[in-house]
Amino acid sequence: MKTKGLLFRILFTSVILLVCCFAKAQVKNATVTINSDTTYQKITGFGGFVCSPQFGYNFMSADEIKKVWGNGSEAGCNIMRLFIPDGETNWSQSLATAQLAKSLGIIVFASPWTMPPQWKTYNSENSLYTDNSGTHNNYLQEAHYADYANYLNDYVVYLRQNGVELDAISIQNEPDMGVNYQGCIWTPAQLTTFIKNYGSLISCPIIAPESIGMTDDFANALSADDVIDNFSIYAGHQYGAIQSGFQQLQAKGKEAWMTEYLLNWNSDATVPARNFDWQEDAFSFATSLNTALLANVNAWIYYSAKRFYSLIGDGTEGTVNGVMTKRGYILSQYAKNTIGSTRIKTEWKDDSNVLQGSSFISQTGDSVIVMVINSSNDAYSLTVDLPFYTKAGKSILTTSSVDWSDSDLVIDEETYRPAVNISASSMTTLIFTKSSDRPVSQMTGTPVYYNPIEQQMPTNANFGSSWQLSGKTVTFDHSNNLISSNTNANNGYLKLNGNYNRLVFNIKNITSASTYTSGTTTLYYINGAGNFNSYNYGTITFVQNGSSQWALDISNQVLTDGCTGIIGISNSNYTSILTIQFGDVYFAFGNEKGYTFNGDYSEDDSNLLDCLEDNSYTSLDFTEATGVPSDENWQANAANKNCLYYVASDVSNNNANVISGSYCNSLVLTGDDEGNNFYAPVSFTSAAASFNHTFNGYEMLVLPFEATIPDGVKAYTLQYSASDVTCTLISGNIIPANTPVLVNATGTYTFTGSGDVSMPEATQEDSLQSVYIAQNAPIGSYILSTDNNTPSFNRIAAGSSYPTIMPFNAYLVAAVASASQLPIIFTDGTAIPLIVFEKEKDNTLYDLMGHRIIHPQKNVVYIYQDGRKVIFF
């Protein structure tokens, strides 16, 4: 029976999965949303290359082949790539392996490295030929196209006559790679001419081009109407770029296979033998595999299945001969669980931007498979938003210490949002079985980012308009900057309207002609003093497929001279020309988020539940949604108790933090929860407002509404100079809105008020910076600290640890001060943190107005240089 009620579902839809975690790993939260309505490619299979000129045939024994391929095998692979031996007299070398492969019921295709040399332009086996005049590409002469087609068909017939029906045959291994070993160069035009005019001579499905990358030049050529019917499978290798052109072939009924890839182990390491490094090698392998699947390939075939860097070891570089490697176990998680399934839409919501993976739905539609790659040393609590209800599932885990561990998921209540523990530094497969249908939400929504780049204004009309990046597709390389083409301030700059810490780019899609990196990524900006400067962020690596987020840290910890304006971002890319489709581009103080909803309200909506469970969300907007209930208590279910909920003015919802139109019946804020960021994108009036917090002595406090000071609490206004901070007791019992004050209290107190509630963008008042979004203290600022019950303001020096300023707090932006500490001078004697009865030698005295005292009087309060109060009797 399904659980009813939003609160009950959130509290009781947890899954307990016992997995290995690092003892000191931090547990982080993340969500992955699985959408089975959006489907991509069907997964045909996975496999490896069994023979090559380097290793020769019989390199793998029959038992080793059975360990990698076939039902019940340890790896679970179902595709084998054969090397076609050079010359008909050598074809028998491949026969035994091919016969064994077909007996296992797997897919077998074959790839040639060269044709008879005499048919090529330079009569050489190699694809490059060098003579006295230089190095030349070695092509198949067009006069021998028919000969070569018949040659390939003869190999197909030879195997057929010996009981092996090839599933496909390739025309050429890496036709675009010039090498000094067996090979042949083909241009896209030459290859398509061969397939169009002579492909019919080959009595076997053709696979092509097996180029060094999966590039658009070959894909576009093969998509021609007079070519496409003469071949069956588009293929390429993963050494070059995986571009998107082959998807036009998939739309016409073709499959796309990645047929060769090799990642070496620690290739730069020297003797002794390179040792397998889990953190480097395993995740490079898993990420490469996942990247190809996200690019839409139907099959993924690794290089030689047996080698120290491969699926089973060969006894070198620390591997055990014939024993499965970590890479083999990682590939097996895909091979044993996703063959025959269809990849579906996967949306990761992970502030750390670490987790990656992909998801699949089974052929019968009754189970979802989620691959989770966690390369960090942190464990995660991962909420999996499923397209159906589930009450059963399985987990398969591989880590540095675990090869393959499967266990049942324990699901206490039928749910569509199980929460699963993901081990640190792990590869995890999650399989959820459908128990019943999940109603489809009719509510839609989009994320809201409070400070889009379009809200920042240029200081000069000559700055241009390319800074308006949200929703645009742009080129980013050595000659195409982001934001503007300027590399100085001559044409002005984009003036920031707040003290932001991050510049965030939401990336919907990115393609590259080569690698997915940005080299020498340099920001040109205006510093806190109003001067031009630049900062090199180094090499940025982008996620190759799917949506992602790229954030530049523009805080004072990185841009130590401050940042008040942005000019542009450049890189040093020449071959890696990045084409980026942006979503929202915005500035942020911390990780504050918002969401706006429309359509028919649904309490079971995935996006709504994500927002309520994520303490980064500070406002949800339902003003455009219909059927919003008047009794919904979102705050009770939200991780961030300070989140605001905007509804239309005709919705009379009096629950906490609900703003109907511009009116709020009850604003309830807290300073004690871990997730307590506050952000009011639209000001409003509240009939009653409160702030609850547990104090332990002196603290800074700022509130977004005018509040009454509770009994037992002393509050002071502050005014700083270059040498100290003067604190004056507030006598009117009222704290003004958005005005930082110093509070002295011990215990839990509630500040109450009413009226206007706002959070101005410019929250700096008299050199006091209000903080409503948690952030690190900037370099050079002063934060409150208490030593021996004596408060003072201490300066944050460059290179020191940067403490986090929590919401409803404040710090001093004391630009004219440079002392490491600013003592506090109270203007009345009610705040005496320490009374000393005897004058200390060599300790300077001041009166409460800051004047130095040589001869103190009795029964008068003075202050030492270190801030302590003293009274003499």
- pLDDT tens per residue, range 4-23: 344 333 333 344 333 333 33
φ, ψ for residue 150, nearest 5 deg: -70, -35
Question: Closest by alpha carbon to 712, among 753, 740, 684, 751?
Answer: 751
Tell me the sheet residues that pair with 525: 533, 566
Residue type, 339: I
873 burial (CB, 10 Å; 0-12 / 13-18 / 19+) is exposed
State how far the Cα of 463 lies from the Cα of 455, in Å rounded to an integer.
Answer: 15
Domain with CATH 2.60.40.1180 in the chain: 6-41+344-436
Cis peptide, bond prior to residue 209, ω within 30 of zero: yes
The verdict on domain 42-339 having CATH code 2.60.120.280 is: no
State how far the Cα of 508 lies from the Cα of 474, in Å rounded to an integer.
Answer: 12
Side by side, the strands of the sheet bearing 861-864 are: 852-853, 845-846, 861-864, 869-871
State residue 840's pLDDT score.
63
State how far the Cα of 596 lies from the Cα of 607, in Å rounded to an integer.
Answer: 10
Reduced to 3 states (helix: H, G, I; strand: E, B; else coil), residue 183 is coil
The verdict on domain 446-588 having CATH code 1.10.1060 is: no
Which residues of the chain, if any, have pLDDT below 70?
1-26, 53-56, 267-274, 674-675, 761-766, 815-816, 828-842, 847-851, 857-862, 865-873
Question: 326-338 and 283-294 helices cross at what angle (nearest 10)?
Answer: 30
State residue 9's pLDDT score.
38
Please answer whether residues 819 and 712 qualify as being in contact, where contact means their C-beta atoms are separated by less than 8 angstroms: no
Please answer whether residues 83 and 53 qualify as being in contact, where contact means their C-beta atoms are separated by less than 8 angstroms: yes
State how far the Cα of 269 lies from the Cα of 361, in Å rounded to an integer.
Answer: 41
State how far the Cα of 387 lies from the Cα of 408, in Å rounded to an integer.
Answer: 20
Question: Closest by alpha carbon to 822, among 794, 850, 791?
Answer: 794
Domain with CATH 3.20.20.80 in the chain: 42-339
Residue type, 620: L
Please answer whether residues 84 and 111 qualify as being in contact, where contact means their C-beta atoms are separated by less than 8 angstroms: yes
State residue 827's pLDDT score.
83
Residue type, 404: W
- Measured from the Cβ of residue 568, the count of other Cβ atoms closer than 10 Å reads 23
Domain with CATH 2.60.120 in the chain: 446-588
pTM: 0.86
Query: Tell me, what DSSP letter sits at residue 807?
Result: T
Residue 411 CB partners (closer than 8 Å, separation 6+): 15, 390, 391, 392, 393, 418
Residue 314 CB partners (closer than 8 Å, separation 6+): 306, 307, 308, 321
Residue type, 286: A
State how far the Cα of 281 lies from the Cα of 297, in Å rounded to an integer.
Answer: 22
Question: Closest by alpha carbon to 594, among 559, 562, 619?
Answer: 619
CA–CA–CA angle 76, 80, 83 (5° rounding): 155
Reduced to 3 states (helix: H, G, I; strand: E, B; else coil), residue 48 is strand
CATH topology of domain 6-41+344-436: Immunoglobulin-like (2.60.40)
Please answer whether residues 235 and 170 qualify as being in contact, where contact means their C-beta atoms are separated by less than 8 angstroms: yes
State residue 318's pLDDT score.
83
